[in-house]
Structure 1
Amino acid sequence: MDYDIAPREGRRAARAAPVQEQPNAPARRRIEVLETYFGADGRPVKRKSIGAARVARRYDERGNKVEEAYFNADGKPTLRKGLGVAKIAWRYDERGRQIDASFFDAAGEPVQKGAAARDRALADA
């Protein structure tokens, strides 16, 4: 999923977009939230606690967080401080229970993380 990460007025922008999973399936709505941190000069700045200036989150139709991606002030993927990944994707079972977390580097390539990182990511969802 590509995110529109151009600077915007205000701190957060949200939009809902229909997602077709099958050609004949009814449209489902997912929520995308883009959170940007600004300095006094109105430009995006890195939030020290996470090491990113922008965070993009996607939620499924049940409200489960399915993806979180981190970007620098220039809009390029960057690694989250403390976790060392640029994107986390969560999966849920049919009952809405978290069953997996996947990690990706700044180039979008999968990263293998240990059980502790996976448990932390599942707890953060």
Structure 2
Amino acid sequence: MGDRGAVIGGGLLGILAVAGAATVLVSSPPPAVFAIVLLCSVVTLGAVGMWAAGRSRRPAMWVAVVGAAVTALLCVPPMAFPDEPIGAGGRLYFALVIVLTIVAIVLVRGELSRGTPQARSTRVA
């Protein structure tokens, strides 16, 4: 499936996707944010599942990373420009999502760039 860091990062992406979906389902975000986060969470979970199953590993991980990154970017506006006070717990949650998403992306970076190994020629000219 990959090295240990990639497995941990992939698992973290999946956990963040579940947390994002659960958060928008129990809170009342604007309808556009609700739809985007829920869609990104479902896509991220599907992509992590495909990656774990070994199907189209590199494209699946790219899709998972982009979905998680979009969700993390949607955490920035409530922290920077709160329309209503979200409290310290809300700010901590958003900051934690952003930091954990960055950590997960760093852990899976090897999966994003791995291509098929090329045969090395041992022929001497």
TM surpasses 0.5 = no
TM range (shorter): under 0.3
Q: Which of structures 1 and 2 has the larger relative contact order (alpha carbons within 8 angstroms, sep 6+)? A: 2
TM-score calculated relative to the size of structure 2? 0.24
What's the TM-score, normalizing by structure 1? Answer: 0.24
Structure richer in helix, relative to its length: 2
When Rg is computed on C-alpha atoms for both structures, the one with the higher figure is 2
